[in-house]
Chains A and B, each alone.
Chain A
Amino acid sequence: MFPATFEYYAPTSLEEALNLLRQNPEAKVLAGGHSLIPAMKLRLATPPALVDLRRIPGLSGIRLEGDQLVIGAMTTYYDVQTSELVRQHVPVLAEATDVVGDLQVRNWGTVGGSLAHSDPAGDYPAIILALGAEVRARGPQGERTIPIDQFFVGMFTTALQPGEILTEVRIPVMGPGTGAAYVKFPHPASRYAVVGVCAVVGREDNICRQARIAVTGATLYATRATAAEQALQGQTLNADTIRAAAERAPEGLTITGDRVFASEEYRTHLVRVLTRRALMAAVEKIR
């Protein structure tokens, strides 16, 4: 199998890449290629041109800026997993990366690609959403910052406009009193999430001051389970309050099932179970 023909560009600066996208409105950005190339081989995607970001310096790397951990779009899962900065400041991200795809996929898939793709079964969309990050993008109109709550808008669709390139994601560092965990039920063959839930909790005087819970796999795109979040707000964090909140996790979510593998009912059940487990684990990890 090989893709339909296309033009290939390997710009060496962001300006050049943005110009190429302006000149080729149907072109697609190529990052790690681990979603795009399989889709092109199956001819599910037939872009007339690819703009490869690989040779643009400065798009990958991890740094600390004030109370934000900044991860460049072309940073690979591998780089995230092996980063001391990530382990120290957002440990859940390093831990969760271990369950994305497989070793080879983690070696080459990128943070920017995983978010820009908005795969309904992707892991990073839920994790980055729960972490309350923000995304930076550069486009014809210059640079803008998009809060993650406004970033995922549909299946394979984000707030990125045509011609825009995601350049980095900015994640608030996890301070004292906060804990987070990602729990995933992987499809046994593909390793993608049948359902995945990421929970981030903040505790003060044993009271839940903040909870962000995001679901992937069950919904068309990564979505927050706001009913469960609200149910925890102001509560003492224990097995009972967590169970009660997790029961409400599917409320307000549009959960979809498929006939082949996991029905809507089953996925709804998994949303409850995995929310409970993610919350229990997150509380366990509060430091």
Chain B
Amino acid sequence: MARVSIRINGVLHEADVEPRLLLVHFIRDVAGLTGTNIGCDTSQCGACTVIMNGRAAKSCTFLAVQCDGAEILTIEGLAKDGQLHPIQQAFWEKHGLQCGYCTPGMIMTAYHFLQMNPNPTEEEIRHALEGNICRCTGYHNIVKAIQYAAELMRGGAPAPTPAD
């Protein structure tokens, strides 16, 4: 067993864990934050994506022991005082989800991507989402949601929401 302490959404979680415990299980089972999903468990689908030390990470592809001392942000850490994060708001308004299983991972990937590229083209958004699989939407509204989120985050007046 190894002692690890990982700060998740600002709260320090300390536990003795087996070295083979994956970060995603630390988040879900030790910290009890089940918003981060496990899709493929083979590093392909991105459903388990969280932000670690500022960068998007597939949490099924890390051992918790590797992340000792890390700062993690999960989907639960985005909304502030009951106010949705602009990316969450955008996914809602642009219907960027159907079953919602891929959504936390999509949003966390978009979170990191929009910090690197606040004004992306459609092509750049699609390239950024290559590690996130959605089995429902066909990606179209996800891309629109991220474009709209970028607008909101740049502080532009929220564009009207056509029923497109």
> Which chain A residues have a beta carbon within 8 Å of chain B's beta carbons?
1-8, 10, 30, 33-34, 37-38, 41-42, 50, 52, 54, 78, 98, 101-105, 107-108, 189-191
User: Closest Cβ of chain B: how far from A170's Cβ, in Å?
Assistant: 26
Q: Sorted from nearest, which 10 A-B pairs have the closest CB atoms? A: A102-B131, A8-B19, A107-B55, A102-B130, A3-B20, A104-B131, A38-B43, A104-B58, A1-B41, A104-B56
Bound CA span A26–B55, Å? 32
Bound Cα distance A8, B68 (Å): 12
Assuming the contacts A41-B41, A104-B109, asked whether A8 and B131 have C-beta atoms less than 8 A apart, the reply is: no
Q: How far is the CA of A50 from the CA of B66 in the complex (A)?
A: 11
Residue pair A103, B19 in contact (C-beta under 8 Å): no
Contact in complex: B57, A107 (CB < 8 Å): yes
A33-B63 in contact (CB<8A): yes
* Interface residue tally for chain B (C-beta within 8 Å): 33
Known: A104-B49, A107-B56. A54 touches B44 (CB 8 A): no
CB distance from A46 to the nearest CB of B (A): 11
Within 8 A of A (CB), among B2-47: 2, 18-22, 25, 41-44, 46
Is the CB of B139 closer than 8 A to any CB of chain A?
A: no
| Chain B residues within 8 Å of A102, by CB | 46, 130-132
A selection of 5 A-B contacts at a CB cut-off of 8 Å is A37-B43, A41-B22, A54-B66, A103-B129, A108-B62
B65 within 8 A of A: yes
Most chain B CB within a 10 A radius of its CB, from A42, A98, A103: A103
Residues on A with C-beta less than 8 A from B66 are 30, 33, 52, 54
Number of A-B contacts (CB under 8 A): 80
- Picked from B19, B43, B55, B65, the residue with its CB within 8 Å of the CB of A34 is B43
CB-based contact A42/B55 at 8 Å: no
User: In the complex, what residue of chain A is closest to B21 when comparing beta carbons?
Assistant: A2
How distant is the Cα of A38 from the Cα of B43 in the complex, in angstroms? 7
Quick check: A5 and B20 within 8 Å, CB to CB?
A: yes
A103-B112 contact, Cβ under 8 Å, with A3-B20, A10-B65, A34-B61? yes
CB-CB under 8 A from A41, the residues of chain B are: 22, 41-42, 60
Q: Are the C-beta atoms of A191 and B130 separated by less than 8 Å? A: yes
Assess A6 versus B55: contact at CB under 8 Å? Given A34-B43, A102-B130, A102-B131. Answer: no
Q: How far is the CA of A8 from the CA of B63 in the complex (A)?
A: 10
Chain B min CB distance to A82 (Å): 8
Give the complex CA separation of A191 and B112 in angstroms: 21
Q: Is B128 an interface residue (CB 8 A)?
A: yes
Is B148 an interface residue, CB under 8 A from the partner? no
